[in-house]
Amino acid sequence: MSDLNGQTIVIIGGSSGIGFAVATQALRSRASHVIMASSSSQKVDNALKRLDALIRQSGLIAHVTGKVLDMKDSNQIRAFFSEIGQLDHLVITSGDPPILGPFKTLDLDQARGSFDTRFWGAAVAAQSAQLKKGGSIVLTVGTVIKKPEPGWALVTGQAGATDSLTRGLAVDLAPIRVNIIAPGYVNTELWDTVPQDAREKMLQEAADKLPVKHVASADEIAEAYLFCMKCGFIAGETLHVNGGQT
């Protein structure tokens, strides 16, 4: 089996949820350097402490660096990659809360911002990252690209653009491999803004409708990112990891 022995993995959005789970699994797959970034210094510091503790407790030979980076800011993204130099794999899981609601009443000017973070942020990062031979990029969308819920029209448009970007990049950046993960419901900090009772009800209802009868843990989704990094024969693909939702 291949692993990430000695490799440098950059995870933008690595301070919580799916990105944090990718960071822990990359370390367990023997990555030598994990660089984790997100926009809040407090969240980055906190994640750094948890990952350092994992390295100590598991006796891993690796180190972790945390950096503050706002994916809305193209200049920050360019400076970030220029500072870190060469890397093996770039994972992007960052995403601000989606702008949802009945399409006719959505504030479209406000909603433009999510394209900055999620579409343009990914494009600028893919252009700036200095990936080594054999390297890859793994982006993130959601099940919405196949099965939008009412009120998700704009998110669906943005996610579809990022999904298509993946295939374009897989051609333009070849032989660097570019893939994208479309998770279904995942129990992460993303849902922390929903009050606890409502959150539990929502996730339970989602679980009941799924063939697998549970919503995903961040670790279950992280497996797909690890696969895309390790498997040298996957390129330009969207991996749907949604418990059978679609």
State yes or no: residue 162 binds ligand NAP (CB under 6 A). no
State yes or no: residue 166 binds ligand NAP (CB under 6 A). no
Q: At what angle do helices 153-172 and 121-128 cross, to 10 degrees?
A: 10
State yes or no: residue 69 binds ligand NAP (CB under 6 A). yes
Residue number, nearest CB to ligand NAP: 17
- Decide if 132 contacts 150 (C-beta within 8 A): no
CA distance 66 to 43: 10
Per-residue binding letters, 203-242, with ligand NAP (x by CB under 6 A): ----------------------------------------
CA distance 19 to 185: 15
State yes or no: residue 66 binds ligand NAP (CB under 6 A). no
CA distance 24 to 21: 5
User: What radius of gyration, in Å, describes the C-alpha atoms of the chain?
Assistant: 17
Measured in residues, the chain has a length of 246
In whole angstroms, the minimum distance from the beta carbon of 168 to ligand NAP comes to 19
Q: How far apart are the first and last CA of the chain?
A: 30
Nearer to ligand NAP, 3 or 237 (CB): 237
State yes or no: residue 163 binds ligand NAP (CB under 6 A). no
The number of residues that bind ligand NAP (CB under 6 A) is: 28
Q: What order do you get walking across the sheet with 130-140 strand by strand?
A: 63-68, 33-38, 8-12, 86-92, 130-140, 177-183, 238-241
- Binders in 167-186 for ligand NAP, by CB under 6 A: 183, 185-186
State yes or no: residue 43 binds ligand NAP (CB under 6 A). yes
State yes or no: residue 15 binds ligand NAP (CB under 6 A). yes
Residues that bind ligand NAP (CB under 6 A): 12-13, 15-19, 38-40, 43, 69-72, 93-96, 117, 140, 142, 183, 185-186, 188-190
